[in-house]
Structure 1
Amino acid sequence: MSGVIFDLDGTLIDSAPDIHRCAALMLADEGLDPLTLPQIRSFIGNGAPVLVRRVMAAVALPDDPALHARLLARFLEHYETAVTLTRLYDGVAACLEDLAAAGRPVGLCTNKPIGPTRAVLAHFGLAQHFPTVIGGDSLPQRKPDPAPLLACLREMGCGKAVFVGDSEVDAECAARAGMDFALFTEGYRKAPVDTLPHAFAFSHHGELEGWLREYTFIS
């Protein structure tokens, strides 16, 4: 049976408030004021190192590797267990239960570091649904490089899978991996839906399992 690989932030969870808080704490350590939640939300998607670099640019800090490394370490200290402001999108838990009942293989491929990923899955009681998890620091490459997505597929042991994500990064990653893409429209996407290649677009996770039952994979 064909599998399903999910992105995490912006697809299964709205973690932007926690990420915003972690970035604010990082900036406070430097005596700097926080950025707004919409600013931080717009920085999400390419992993923590890129997010910290974007924050640095937004507050006019120099693009210095040593400074970036120090700020990233501080951000990750706060981020490791940041779950209290994060919420599941509507229908996620039921969707995962439906996929399990159908016997469909499920994996997770995210640019979120593996530590915070496992912390948030445990917090919401979702870890049992994801025997295969690839985080942003599991490999040298991060999405949109296809390597993490292809590694997840190999570990799942199924020949085909659809990738479910919310962003330009996810759409590009799926295309580069030669994988079908389902687009969750309520996440952190910036571009219009019709500009991103996708086999299916949905706004509630209750729509996903039914679509998978009917969909013929093209890849």
Structure 2
Amino acid sequence: MTAIVFDLDGTLIDSAPDIRAALNHVLLAEGAEALTLAETIRFIGHGIPALVRQAREFRGLGADRHAAMVDAMVARYQAASTVLTRPYEGVEAALAVLGAAGHPLGICTNKPLAATRQILADLALEAPFGAVIGGDSLPVKKPDPAPLHAAFAALGAAPLLYVGDSEVDAETAQAAGVPFALFTPGYRKAPVASLPHRFAFNDFAQLPALVAALA
């Protein structure tokens, strides 16, 4: 059975509203203007330090407060990471079908591991996953392929499939030499055709059949 590893933000969950709320709390404390949801989504994908750096530079804030802003963002987000965050429609059902069919399932995200596990627990999504790799599980983050390799190694099965929503995910899969499935409603910035993928889908109800077709 195909081992399937998923990205988290923009793939399994729509987390941008809570990320935006935490980031804007930090920006406003620094005297900067809040970001729109669309602006926030532009910066999601490389982890919280990169998110804060891009937002800070976008608002013209200097680097001297960067570390303090990252710490404040982490604290704020950990305290309220699932107020507005929800799984995308059909996620729970698709995971149940894939798990029942015998597919080993995992997660590889740039979100910190503790926050990832807390969100999965809060949304009752943790049960299906035999491996969870966060952005601080290894010394490197996606698009370096090492975290994805680690997730698949923990599952110990083949063939492999990585499911994500963004340029970072497509680049990670390509670097790891793993087939990539693109969830198109996520936080992608570029056109679908510009991202290398084995297949694309816009509804999680489609995913089990698409995975079965790979065999």
Q: What TM-score, normalized by structure 2, do the two folds share?
A: 0.97
Give 1:8 deviation, angstroms: 0.3
Is 1:156 aligned with 2:155? yes
Aligned length, in residue pairs: 214
Question: Which residue of 55, 68, 71 corresponds with 1:70?
Answer: 68
Answer whether contact 1:83 1:119 (CA < 8 A) is retained: no
Q: For the aligned residues, what is the CA RMSD?
A: 1.0
The CA distance in 2 between the partners of 1:31 and 1:62, in whole Å, is 12
After superposition, the C-alpha distances for 1:160-213 in whole angstroms (9 at most, x for unaligned) are: 310000000000000000000000000000111011110010000011111111
Give 1:130 deviation, angstroms: 1.1
The CA distance in 2 between the partners of 1:27 and 1:195, in whole Å, is 33
After superposition, the C-alpha distances for 1:115-136 in whole angstroms (9 at most, x for unaligned) are: 2111111111111111210001
Is 1:9 aligned with 2:23? no
Give 1:33 deviation, angstroms: 2.6
What's 1:168 paired with? Answer: 167
The CA distance in 1 between the partners of 2:78 and 2:114, in whole Å, is 6
Is 1:142 aligned with 2:141? yes
What's 1:88 paired with? Answer: 87
Give 1:31 deviation, angstroms: 2.9
After superposition, the C-alpha distances for 1:4-26 in whole angstroms (9 at most, x for unaligned) are: 00000000011000000000111
Percent pairwise identity:
50
Give 1:2 deviation, angstroms: 1.8
Structure 1: unaligned runs, 5 residues or longer: none
The CA distance in 1 between the partners of 2:175 and 2:95, in whole Å, is 26
Answer whether contact 1:8 1:110 (CA < 8 A) is retained: yes
Give the 4+ runs in structure 1 shifted more than 6 A. none
Q: What TM-score, normalized by structure 1, do the two folds share?
A: 0.95
For 1:105, give the aligned amino acid: P
What's 2:22 paired with? Answer: 22
SS of 2:10's equivalent?
A: coil
For 1:63, give the aligned amino acid: A
The CA distance in 2 between the partners of 1:178 and 1:198, in whole Å, is 11
Answer whether contact 2:130 2:154 (CA < 8 A) is retained: no
The CA distance in 2 between the partners of 1:212 and 1:33, in whole Å, is 44
For 1:170, give the aligned amino acid: D
For 1:211, give the aligned amino acid: L
Give 1:34 deviation, angstroms: 1.1
Answer whether contact 1:153 1:160 (CA < 8 A) is retained: no
SS of 2:52's equivalent?
A: helix
What's 1:32 paired with? Answer: 32
Is 1:57 aligned with 2:54? no
Answer whether contact 1:110 1:136 (CA < 8 A) is retained: yes
The CA distance in 1 between the partners of 2:202 and 2:10, in whole Å, is 12
What's 2:43 paired with? Answer: 43
Stretch of structure 1 that moved more, 25-34 or 99-108: 25-34
The CA distance in 1 between the partners of 2:29 and 2:118, in whole Å, is 24
